[in-house]
Amino acid sequence: MTLGTKIDAPTTRGPVDSRGYRIFRVVNTVVLLGVVVVTLYPFLNIVARSLSEEAYIIAGKVTVVPRGFDLTAYKLLMSDAMFWTNYRNTVVYTVVATLISIVLTTCYAYVLSKPQLKGRPFLIGIALFTMFFSGGLIPNYVLVTSLGMKNTIWAVVIPNAISVFNLLVMKAFFESLPSELEEAAAVDGLNTYGILLRIVLPLSKAIIATMVLFYAVSFWNSWFTAFLYIDRQDLLPVTVYLRNLIAGATSAESAAADADKVQAAATLQAVTIVLTTLPILAIYPFVQRYFVRGVMLGAVKG
């Protein structure tokens, strides 16, 4: 399986269109349309709710079309300073964490991709073993706390810096590069760092972009580490803001500031969901195929 393989090569199983098979194809299309509807419905429902008047929601009348078009909840949320602080935190955490992850993953994957390196099986084993056995929640918590990372960005960005799966994907990519290029560069007097920076990385833009996507989405979506290690509201990412909202535990000053908000609880949740998902939905059509490729590469070759 190489990078260029199409995942949807047409099936040419011959023109055996029996009557039974024609019926099957109709049923198949209907079933797949059903899958599409079921998958999309929750999204449409949330958007409709976010744009509807609270009264219609409470009456149970909102499905996929907004009823009583109303932007109050959007305005309410937009005026909540804490929401924006948390939103900004998410952006900062995502950028910093992705940067750290990319550097560490690239370095290690490059080392692992050198077949002649002594001790390579050991280095691979160290990473692989953590896929199947981990220290667990409590020892991790004790460790991060005793390193003094609580209530700092580091608790969010460091403990999950390397994903072994991504590491294997990248290693597979580096292994697929022609080794002659690097040998030629070495003959021309470049050292290892030079080869990595000036020969390998420029050839690896595609895989680095994929890795950036993988990491960025996972950090954008993460909530549990922040939930666990961060108590200060102004340091939380927006995912934890949303979790506090749905758990009914938003801080008094931001939620109960005016009575309207209490009434608008359902709409407010819908709006928060929409705004938090928006960046993902906006880039999704453009990045989807890279993810698909990366997953296939990692799984087939890893």
Looking at residues 168 to 207 of the shown chain, list those that interact with another protein (rule: CB under 8 A): 168, 171-172, 175, 191-193, 196
Rounded to a whole number of angstroms, the minimum distance from the CB of residue 265 to another protein is: 10
CA dist., res. 99 & res. 219, Å (int): 11
Is residue 295 within the footprint of another protein (CB under 8 A)?
A: yes
Q: What angle do CA 54, 56, 61 make, to 5 degrees?
A: 140
Candidate list 6, 19, 205, 232; residue touching another protein; CB under 8 A? 6
What is the DSSP secondary structure assignment for residue 268, as one 8-state letter? Answer: H
Binders of another protein among residues 40 to 99 (CB under 8 A) are 40-43, 45-46, 49, 57-60, 62-63
- Looking at the Cβ atoms of 254 and 270, the one nearer to another protein is 270
Q: Give the residue among 235, 237, 252, 245 at the shortest CA–CA distance from 272.
A: 245
Q: What angle do CA 136, 244, 272 make, to 5 degrees?
A: 120
Q: How many residues bind another protein (CB under 8 A)?
A: 114
CA dist., res. 271 & res. 66, Å (int): 13
Candidate list 69, 146, 187, 252; residue touching another protein; CB under 8 A? 146
Other C-beta atoms lying within 10 Å of the C-beta of residue 153: 16
Binders of another protein among residues 248 to 267 (CB under 8 A) are 266
Rounded to a whole number of angstroms, the minimum distance from the CB of residue 72 to another protein is: 18
Rounded to a whole number of angstroms, the minimum distance from the CB of residue 257 to another protein is: 21
Residue 58 near residue 119 (C-beta atoms within 8 A): no
Can you tell me whether residue 80 is helix, strand or coil? coil
The answer for residues whose C-beta is within 8 angstroms of residue 108's C-beta and 6 or more apart is 123, 127, 162, 167
Is residue 30 within the footprint of another protein (CB under 8 A)?
A: no
- Looking at the Cβ atoms of 84 and 141, the one nearer to another protein is 141
Candidate list 23, 65, 91, 137; residue touching another protein; CB under 8 A? 137
Binders of another protein among residues 117 to 136 (CB under 8 A) are 117-119, 123-124, 126-128, 130, 132-136
Distance of alpha carbon 107 from the chain centroid:
22
Rounded to a whole number of angstroms, the minimum distance from the CB of residue 192 to another protein is: 4
Is residue 18 within the footprint of another protein (CB under 8 A)?
A: yes
